[in-house]
Chains A and B, each alone.
Chain A
Amino acid sequence: NAGVTQTPKFRVLKTGQSMTLLCAQDMNHEYMYWYRQDPGMGLRLIHYSVGEGTTAKGEVPDGYNVSRLKKQNFLLGLESAAPSQTSVYFCASNDGGQQFFGPGTRLTVL
Chain B
Amino acid sequence: SQQGEEDPQALSIQEGENATMNCSYKTSINNLQWYRQNSGRGLVHLILIRSNEREKHSGRLRVTLDTSKKSSSLLITASRAADTASYFCATALYGGATNKLIFGTGTLLAVQP
Interface residues of A, Cβ cutoff 8 Å to B: 4, 31, 33, 35, 40-45, 48, 50, 56, 58, 90, 92, 94, 96-104
B88 within 8 A of A: yes
Interface residues of B, Cβ cutoff 8 Å to A: 2, 4, 31, 33, 35, 40-45, 48, 88, 90, 97-106
In the complex, the answer to whether A104 meets B41 with C-beta atoms within 8 Å is yes
A62 to chain B, nearest CB (A): 16
Specify which of A4, A43, A44 lies most central, judged by the most chain B CB atoms within 10 Å of its CB: A43
- Not counting A48-B100, A50-B98, A101-B43, a sample of 11 additional A-B residue pairs whose C-beta atoms are within 8 angstroms of each other reads A31-B98, A31-B99, A40-B105, A42-B4, A44-B103, A50-B99, A56-B98, A58-B100, A99-B43, A99-B101, A101-B35
In the complex, the answer to whether B99 meets A43 with C-beta atoms within 8 Å is no
Tell me whether chain A's interface is mostly helix, strand or loop, or mixed.
strand
Name 17 A/B residue pairs within 8 A (Cβ), A-sorted: A40-B105, A42-B103, A42-B104, A42-B105, A42-B106, A43-B43, A43-B88, A43-B103, A45-B100, A48-B98, A50-B99, A97-B99, A98-B48, A99-B101, A101-B35, A101-B42, A104-B41
Inside 8 A of B101's CB, which chain A residues have their CB?
A: 99
A48 to B96, CA, bound (A): 13
Inside 8 A of B104's CB, which chain A residues have their CB?
A: 42
Task: Give the nearest-CB partner of B101 in chain A.
Answer: A99
Task: Give the nearest-CB partner of A88 in chain B.
Answer: B40
Task: Give the nearest-CB partner of B86 in chain A.
Answer: A42
A107 to chain B, nearest CB (A): 14
Inside 8 A of A56's CB, which chain B residues have their CB?
A: 98
